[in-house]
Each structure stands twice: as structure tokens, then as C-alpha cells.
Chain A
């Protein structure tokens, strides 16, 4: 089936350190998968961080980057230097533009950035 697997948290990093959250997907019924990262800050709803719809392309937002790798079926999220304000839950998601299927999300990875 279609699914998303991501780094199991919680992940704790110190401010100014680098962060990587792994995400791999299985898209057996989706011909052209689209990939997403959503973020949920404390007390708020999830919001879109970045999306990539074409394999081989990179998306970036707020200092975060993720590259859509079709060969390894991965979409890892990286940031070179995190800040305390990056403490949040990060969700990787898989989508299908054919029809209106809902996004398929992972479990979320809780990231805590210590000062």
C-alpha cells in the first residue's frame, strides 16, 4: 500500500546544530507522487512547510530543504543550523494529484531545540 515512514522522535538538538529528519515513502498505487513536509508548532495546527511535485527537485522554506529522490523513495528534511523557534512536530506526507485523494501522513517527528 501507500505509506510514509519517518524518523521516530523525539529528536533533541542544540541551537545552531544541524538537523535531519528521514522520510521514506511507498507509493504503490500513485503514478506521480507529490511529497510534502508539514509542521505543527506548539498550540497550533499543522501548516505546510514545503512541497515538491517533481522527482529530482528540491524544495526549501525557512532554511529547511528536502530533495525528492525517486530512486531511494526518500524525502529527507534538513536544516543546517536550527533555532529554538524550530521546536515543533514535523510531518512528512505523500499525495496523489490524480483525483482528490487525501494526503497520507507519517507519524510526525517531535523536534526540541535547546538553547
Chain B
């Protein structure tokens, strides 16, 4: 059974609308992350959280807002969607915070298409 659950797997949205991507991890980890990958681009880091606190934000736009209601949840709210937001969004977690010192575990991703 997958230990990191992302919902939905696929999402189609209209330009200007708002969507929430869900991520839950059942590994007992303390750190969670969001990455995204657009076509032919690197897997790009967006946010990291540790014990539900934002630790790092590499996303320039305030349209992307992570939400952590519980330690094992890190949802991603995206407002005023644009076609350029079309990508696969990956949630990840690790025991401690820091991608080099800790092994990252990823969900299967949510593929978002904005029309």
C-alpha cells in the first residue's frame, strides 16, 4: 500500500479557477515537501515543512499556498490557475528536515492540466 497518498491523480481545471491538491503521509515523518515538474523541465522544489512549520519557499508566486492541518498532511492550494501551472505535482516526506541528510519518499503525483 502506498505510504504517501496524493489526491486526485489527475485534475483538469479552467484558467482562473482554484484547486487544492491533497497529500497525506503515513510514514510518521516530520518533514514534508512539494515539488513540481512541467514538461521537459527539472523536478523543481517548491516548499518544505518541518513539524508543520514552513522552512523553505522557492515559489515566487503567492498563488501557491501550502496548508498543513495535521503533521502528516500538507495540501497545496493553487488560486487563479494559469495554463503555465500545468505540471505534475509531487508531495514528499522525510524523517528529518533536509533533502541531503534524509531520504525523501515521494507520492505518485497529481497531474494538473489547466485549460
Q: How large is the interface on B (under 10, 10 to 19, 20 to 34, 35 or more residues)?
A: 20 to 34
Shortest C-beta distance, A24 to chain B (Å), equals 13
* A100 and B43 within 8 A (CB): no
Taking CB atoms, residues of chain A closer than 8 Å to B99 are 93, 95, 100-103
Given A45, A53, A95, A96, which contacts B106 in the complex, CB threshold below 8 Å?
A45
The total of interchain contacts (Cβ-Cβ below 8 angstroms) comes to 75
B residues near A59, Cβ cutoff 8 Å: none
Chain A residue at minimum C-beta to C-beta distance from B4: A45
- Contact between chains at B105 and A91 (CB < 8 Å): no
If A91-B43, A102-B99, A107-B42 touch, does A47 touch B56 (CB 8 Å cutoff)? no
Binding site for B on A (CB under 8 A): 3-4, 34, 38, 40, 43-48, 53, 91, 93, 95-97, 99-108
